[in-house]
Structure 1
Amino acid sequence: MAAIKKTAEATPPDYWAEACKHLTKRDRVMRRLIPQVGDVAPYPRGDAFSTLARSIVGQQVSVASAQRVWDQFAALPRSMTPRSVLKLKVDDMRAAGLSARKVEYLVDLALHFDSGQLHVKQWGQMDDAAIVAELVAIRGISRWTADMFLIFHLARPNVLPLDDTTLIQGISRHYFSGDPVSRSDAREVAEAWKPWCSVASWYIWRSLAPLPVDY
């Protein structure tokens, strides 16, 4: 994970203010958290291929390790495109710090993009479930990764990432006094969040880790 940097071009999703207004009216926890967290929002950036490639590189390693390996890997191709990645030598990718499995995942990701198996240009008109189905067919892309991509890259407003342990911890803390929370419990809480589950999830995350991050 890496800190989101605001740039002159970056703007929060256009629905953010409306979502916050809705949530503060409908949910007692959001009524408290949103003012506490303050004026922060995710700023979508980067292209789809690089975003997913970074998610693969960052799996099961620390933030610092993920950044170091990414920097070394990103220096290999002329540009971070599927076609350029497919031209790389496996030995060079391994020398950049990637495991054999992550090399396989990155190659599969590049193949999916390069072959046209992914309907990237149509994602804006496709529903969340259809996009998730395309993404999880790629080796190394889990449902969690797909949900994070929907929220942080595509800025989809109503994603409830139930595979995210930090979200479940936050729901436990804020709604159940720290008691264990099931997926069913989380869904029940999120009924009040609809149609802005992504925004509510963001504020739960921020309440536990104040610095904005992307995934």
Structure 2
Amino acid sequence: MNQRKSPTRQIEAIKWSTAAAVVGVAIIAAIVSYNHAYALVTAYGEGGWTARLVPLTVDGLIYASSMVLLHAARQGAPAPHLARWLLALGITATLAANATHGLGRGPVGAIVAAWPAVALVGSYELLMTIVRSNARVPDPVPTPEYVPETDPLEVQAADAFAADVSAGRLPTVRAIRLRLRVGQPRAQRVQTYLSGLITTPDGGPA
């Protein structure tokens, strides 16, 4: 018999499948974008390890800036302006490099060549969105439990009629008025309070 997945499991399944898709697209886009940038750097005179490492500095700048912004978001701190500027600079650089690589084949070629960079940056930011949504929410600070203030008159009544309460006898309103020198309404409230102090043989309130 098939059992329906709980909402929590469905949400987790969506998150993990989305993360897997984003990572897959990001890997493909990163490889293509790297090849375009490598070809561009090589075409402008660089070679060897320099040509291989320069494209990594662009993607690395995007990664480092995004990590700083993610850390600030998880800590509830303001986003550093430098991280925002460097992220924008890295995105601009990778788009420019890929577009320039395909510019020799016309505007359409530039758009096609720039697309992997767009997919890489977009996939990476989607992945960061998933990570941010999984950030632990701080536990709310518990509010102190409200404790009602004790009415001094009730304390006085409990002391004055302690013998009656212990014997299970509820004082009359008249007796409370005379003993405590209060009016009818307050005497009735005190009587209600005293009735809660009287216990039955089974230990419960009267």
TM range (shorter): under 0.3
Higher relative contact order (CA 8 A, sep 6+): 1
Structure whose residues are more often helix by fraction: 2
Higher radius of gyration, 1 or 2: 2
* TM norm structure 1: 0.24
